[in-house]
């Protein structure tokens, strides 16, 4: 028996419960049987987590402030919480280091934790037991509706991992929008009723922000001091940092935005970054909101006649469908998924990814909004930044690290499949059945960005033409070996093959000129 184990056997503390920054929920499995009289809770702000990518300042501030408020919530419930702040002089800088320090003073009989949501941290967690010489119990994360094992079973033997079929299973399993064994209103998916463009609307309700309290203001000052070079500014901080405020944000979403959620889901407007989106992913991902309760509240809004089926079904699909599916894909594909690079793309990120300084209004708008809010909605992430990155052949690993850093809701389990699989098709089709590639026409249809752009979206080639038009065909041409046999691209490739040689050459020339300007660091 190791000396720590002997001392721990005599200790009055039963469990040291380690809670990570995205496990801020009283319902988290590590707290299931927690007893304030027997257990001690450990939470820590560590440089290892705060610097594995250069996170947006707002993201670090949200997590630290929500952690500190959750520690208070636990203390108010009688728990002894051992909390290490980032600037504590004794802070060892890592989860393992903080665990060792806590074990040495608390002398627990064992350690309990909920499995980390990311592969990198779970691997480290699996080494804790041998590092500290005490039993470490790692519990599954019951906040997800589909376990890793169930997803594996669902995926086994399938030729393609189509989200829609997974989603139907989740509808049946949760009973959400179900009439016995049939879907409510006799349709599983109302996407065809959505996907509309939007017009600026001064009367559209505004999303609720929260004024930072003293605890948050301390965190904002700490973040500005310790991470001066990271993206963004904390002066705009208005996130909810407590469960009560996150619930207020959720109620406001259901009341004010859910009714029109579906119809503007894919729309983009220069002056309205949020439209009718929920702005709730940050809170769901760190545990302040429970995904199933949120879906039940949306379902209630439908049955009470407050929101139409197309909006409610669309919203519920994003959460019990896409969110759960993405998590399943992550655990199926890791480790190694982050190195996927089917198109062998190696171009570095242009500087404007950090400044928003480009003449392409679609990109400058989305990147500037990202810098300001640490947020962009799904279509902005997928069809503006993601589409551009794939068309010009940016290194998918660098693209992944950018997304992981700049969005306040970014954790690898959700960000990586969305970037590598959905937006870059870098996994060669493990997840998506075809690349989400688009020319300027898509952006012109779904946004008002092109109206103020110096490039002309109707011109196909030449210096004033929208660069995406030539880049689109050049991407398909360059990657024909991997893509031309994809039956979902058959019509697109047949258009390309029917094009006369001169036109094809003009596309190639325009794309090459743009890529040269990009590589030279010239303004684009």
Residues in contact with ligand FAD by the rule CB under 6 A? 277-281, 284-285, 315, 318-319, 322-323, 326, 377-378, 381-382, 386, 403, 407, 409-410, 414-415, 418-419, 422-423
Do 28 and 198 contact (CB within 8 A), yes or no?
Answer: no
Q: DSSP per residue over 489-514, as a string?
A: GHHHHHHHHHS-HHHHHHHHHHHHHH
Q: Does 46 contact ligand DLZ by CB under 6 A?
A: yes
Binding partner at 362 among ligand SF4, ligand FAD, ligand DLZ, none, C-beta below 5 to 8 Å by kind: ligand SF4
Within residues 459-518, the interface with ligand SF4 by CB under 6 A covers 466-468
Judged by DSSP in three states, 138 sits in strand
Q: x/- string (CB under 6 A) for ligand SF4, residues 358-377?
A: --xxx---------------
For tokens 């009341």, name the residue. 255
The smaller minimum CB distance to ligand DLZ, of residues 46 and 102, is found at 46
Q: What angle do helix axes 291-303 and 243-252 make, rounded to 10 degrees?
A: 30
Q: Which does 285 bind (CB under 5 to 8 A by kind): ligand SF4, ligand FAD, ligand DLZ, none?
A: ligand FAD
Is 136 a binding residue for ligand SF4 by CB under 6 A? The answer is no
Q: Torsion over CA of 475, 480, 482 and 485, rounded to 10 degrees?
A: 130
**Closest separation in Å from C-beta 364 to ligand DLZ:** 27
Report H helices in 287-346.
Answer: 291-303, 309-316, 324-333
| Other C-beta atoms lying within 10 Å of the C-beta of residue 482 | 15
Closest distance between ligand SF4 and the C-beta of residue 352, in Å?
Answer: 12
How far is the C-alpha of 39 from the C-alpha of 33, rounded, in Å?
A: 10
Residue 185 token pair: 């209103």
Q: Closest separation between CB of residue 411 and ligand FAD, Å?
A: 6
Q: Are 31 and 76 in contact (CB under 8 A)?
A: no
Say if residues 144 and 169 touch (Cβ distance below 8 Å). Answer: no
457 binds, among ligand FAD, ligand SF4, ligand DLZ, none (CB under 5 to 8 A by kind): ligand SF4
Residue 50 touching ligand DLZ (CB under 6 A):
yes
Told to check if 117 binds ligand DLZ by CB under 6 A, we report yes
Of 48 and 456, the one with the shorter C-beta distance to ligand SF4 is 456
Cis check: omega of the bond before 335, within 30 degrees of 0 = yes
Q: Which is nearer to ligand SF4, 393 or 467 (CB)?
A: 467
Q: Which does 280 bind (CB under 5 to 8 A by kind): ligand SF4, ligand DLZ, ligand FAD, none?
A: ligand FAD
Answer yes or no whether residue 440 interacts with ligand SF4 by CB under 6 A. Answer: yes
């Amino acid at each position: 028996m190791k000396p720590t184990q002997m001392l721990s056997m005599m200790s009055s503390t039963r469990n040291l419960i380690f809670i990570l920054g995205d496990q801020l929920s009283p319902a988290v499995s590590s707290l299931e049987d927690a007893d304030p009289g027997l257990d001690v809770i450990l939470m820590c702000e560590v440089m290892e987590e705060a610097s594995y990518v250069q996170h947006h300042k707002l993201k670090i501030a949200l997590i630290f402030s929500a952690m500190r408020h959750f520690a208070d919530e636990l203390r108010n419930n009688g728990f002894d919480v051992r909390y290490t702040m980032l600037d504590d002089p004794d802070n060892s800088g890592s989860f393992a280091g903080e665990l060792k320090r806590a074990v040495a003073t608390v002398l627990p009989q064992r350690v309990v934790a909920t499995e980390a949501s990311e592969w990198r941290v779970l691997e480290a967690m699996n080494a804790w037991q041998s590092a500290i010489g005490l039993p470490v119990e790692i519990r599954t994360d019951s906040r997800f509706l589909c376990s890793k094992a169930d997803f594996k079973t669902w995926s086994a033997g399938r030729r393609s991992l189509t989200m829609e079929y997974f989603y139907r299973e989740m509808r049946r399993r949760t009973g959400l929008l179900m009439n016995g064994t049939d879907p409510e209103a006799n349709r599983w998916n109302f996407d065809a009723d959505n996907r509309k463009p939007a017009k600026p609307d001064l009367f559209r309700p505004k999303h609720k922000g929260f004024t930072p309290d003293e605890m948050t203001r301390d965190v904002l000052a700490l973040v500005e001091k310790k991470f001066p070079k990271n993206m963004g500014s904390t002066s705009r901080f208005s996130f909810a940092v407590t469960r009560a405020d996150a619930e207020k944000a959720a109620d406001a979403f259901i009341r004010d935005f859910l009714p029109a959620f579906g119809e503007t889901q894919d729309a983009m407007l220069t002056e309205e970054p949020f439209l009718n989106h929920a702005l709730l992913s940050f809170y769901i991902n760190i545990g302040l909101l429970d995904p199933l309760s949120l879906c039940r509240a949306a379902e209630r809004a439908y049955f009470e006649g407050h929101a139409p089926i197309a909006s409610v079904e669309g919203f519920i699909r994003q959460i019990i469908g896409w969110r759960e599916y993405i998590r399943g894909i992550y655990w199926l594909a890791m480790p190694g998924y982050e190195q996927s690079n089917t198109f062998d793309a190696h171009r570095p990120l242009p500087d404007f990814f950090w400044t928003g300084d480009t003449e392409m209004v679609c990109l400058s708008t989305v990147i500037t909004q990202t810098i300001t809010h640490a947020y962009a909605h799904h279509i902005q992430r997928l069809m503006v930044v993601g589409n551009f990155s794939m068309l010009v052949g940016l290194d998918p690993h660098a693209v992944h690290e950018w997304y992981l850093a700049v969005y306040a809701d970014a954790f690898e389990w959700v960000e990586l499949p969305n970037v590598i699989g959905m937006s870059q098709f870098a996994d060669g089709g493990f997840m998506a059945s075809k690349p989400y590639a688009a020319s300027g026409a898509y952006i012109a249809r779904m946004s008002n960005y092109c109206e103020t752009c110096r490039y002309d979206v109707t011109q196909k080639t030449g210096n004033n033409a929208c660069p995406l038009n030539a880049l689109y065909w050049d991407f398909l041409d360059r990657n024909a070996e991997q893509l031309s046999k994809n039956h979902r691209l058959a019509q697109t490739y047949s258009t390309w093959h029917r094009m006369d040689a001169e036109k094809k050459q003009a596309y190639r020339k325009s794309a090459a000129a743009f890529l040269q300007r990009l590589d030279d660091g010239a303004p684009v």
